[in-house]
Structure 1
Amino acid sequence: MKSKAFEIIADMSKDEDVSKIVERALRKLKKIDVLINCAGILKFGGLQHEDIVETFDRVISVNLKATLAMTKQALPALIESKGCIINISSVASSYVTRNPLVYNISKAGVTNFTKFVALELATHGVRVNCISPGPVNTDIWEKAGMAKDDVRINMVERLPLKQYVKAEEIAELAVYLASDNTASITGSDFVVDAGMLLGKSADLSEVSTMNLN
């Protein structure tokens, strides 16, 4: 049986767009079994950056608030189906660097949100888990202003496995967490980071500030 996908274009920072996504999904699919919150943006800046407040508002609205809003909107359908929620966080929630301040804060929020909601929804039979990728080779880096070659190569060389995480790895893990094979797993955070959090390899402060000042 071939799967069928359909597209909904929306701004995840807008409440009305979040509502539109859930409404159209229910109209098309009739039910929601799995919600994957994966919208995210990366912006650099520390507390002394002039536009840090604006950066905070923008990043939090997409990375954290949208996760809460989507979960809230889809919740009645998920409770009805006894479905599951998978939030995409980041290893950035688990370590401290000088940059990017707001991104790390937003992802720490996603990870903690996952655990709180997992506890709240357990009585409804809804499972909630989290995936925390390390560096994935997507265009989020270019959109954040990072040079494609020198900074990326430097980052990969600091990883114990000397390779980026593949987007397919994250997708396959999400499929597994949504399956009946993980019926007893909830409130867990799954790290996929090419060894990034092992020892000193987690300290990417120098990399994250290159070419961005």
Structure 2
Amino acid sequence: MGDPDAEKLAAALTSAEKKAGQQAKEAWSLMRRTSRVKLTKDKPRVLTEIARIAGASRAASLKQSDSAEKFQELACILPGLDSWIGRVKPQLLEELLSDTAGAASKLVQLQHQLPHVDVCKLIKSRPSLLSQDEFAMVPRGIGKLELVFGEPAAYAKIVQMFPSMLLVDAEELLAKLQQQLGFDIDAHVVLQDPSLLMSVADNRNLSIW
């Protein structure tokens, strides 16, 4: 007979590989769609905006023609991008344009992690979730949300309203809220009014952009 533990490990690894392969396939599908996506009629305005906020340092590494191609890829991955790209910090924009395949992969992973959340709207509200730094914080944030609220469907509303909840310790915030109120409060009460939880968050570290 084989080693049961070894068999379980092999099965787990196979499952993980399949999941990673599926996510890569979905990300690639997003990228392939770029050939069918056209920029809006305001393309010159958008490119001018890119050049303006990205600055001379990035302009030296990406020609305008390259910027157009990369922006088209991002526009495919993130519908409506041209309507809010002007609010994105230059450093984040540079990161997204330099690795559009990575952005697609992150978007797919977020959709798998947050099945009840409109991820495109989530990113529109907080594009920085696609940055390396914030994206790395998301799994821990989701873990804390699950600990406090249970199933993903339960906390989807609060994440949609306040994307920064993915970057904080929901358990710690709930404890702080209860301390301020002077009595225990059920987590599901907070779901009815998510602003209660956000009122105790340290907003200095939760800027929208």
TM-score past 0.5 threshold: no
Greater C-alpha Rg: 2
Higher helix share: 2
TM-score range, shorter chain: under 0.3
Higher strand share: 1
Bigger relative contact order, structure 1 or 2, given CA contacts below 8 A and separation 6+?
1
The TM-score, its normalising length taken from structure 1, stands at 0.26
The TM-score, its normalising length taken from structure 2, stands at 0.26
